[in-house]
Amino acid sequence: MDIIPHLPDLNAALNALAAILLIRGVVLIKDGRRNQHRRTMLTAFGVSIVFLISYLTYHFNVGSVKFTGTGVIRYVYFTILISHTLLAAAVPFLAVITLRRGLNNDLRRHVALAKWTFPIWLYVSVTGVVVYWMLYWL
């Protein structure tokens, strides 16, 4: 069985799971559950790494996928795609630095950067699912 055609489905699922884990991580830290927060955020990072490997594997084998929608939806798609792509380029750097600060107990700087990292990473995860839906189901 060729797995390549199924990777977009996996990628969307991984993005959705990352979004859920990110939200759970924030809820946990607000509840003072630091160890659970740490594990959840490391899991979100791991899920995002698996996503990136799967995403790159798919596009290495398939190339780019054209959006076939027309009219207003085309402008909506490209607006989402452009913002998603630009912010997605920043997520690995932001996530690594934020995680390192947290793991090193540099909590003041961790929290300061996490206030930026969390919404960007969450936006990228959610819009990744939206882009998938628009490409493959719309």
Q: Give the span between the Cα atoms of 130 and 19, in whole angstroms.
A: 12
What count of other Cβ atoms lies within 10 Å of the Cβ of residue 112?
13
- pTM for the model stands at 0.96
Q: What are phi and psi of 33, to 5 degrees?
A: -95, 75
CATH number for the domain including 93?
1.20.120.80
**Considering only CA atoms, which of 16, 23, 15 is closest in space to residue 41?**
23
Compute how many other C-beta atoms are within 10 angstroms of the C-beta atom of residue 11: 22
Q: Is the pLDDT of residue 43 over 90?
A: yes
The whole-number average pLDDT for the span 109-128 is 98
Number of structural domains (the chain) is: 1
Asked if pLDDT for residue 1 goes beyond 90, the answer is: no
Q: Which domain holds residue 37?
A: 4-136
3-state secondary structure at position 78: helix
pLDDT of residue 73: 98
Report pLDDT for 132: 98
> Does pLDDT of 72 surpass 90?
yes
Give the pLDDT score at 41.
98
Tokens of 15: 């993005």
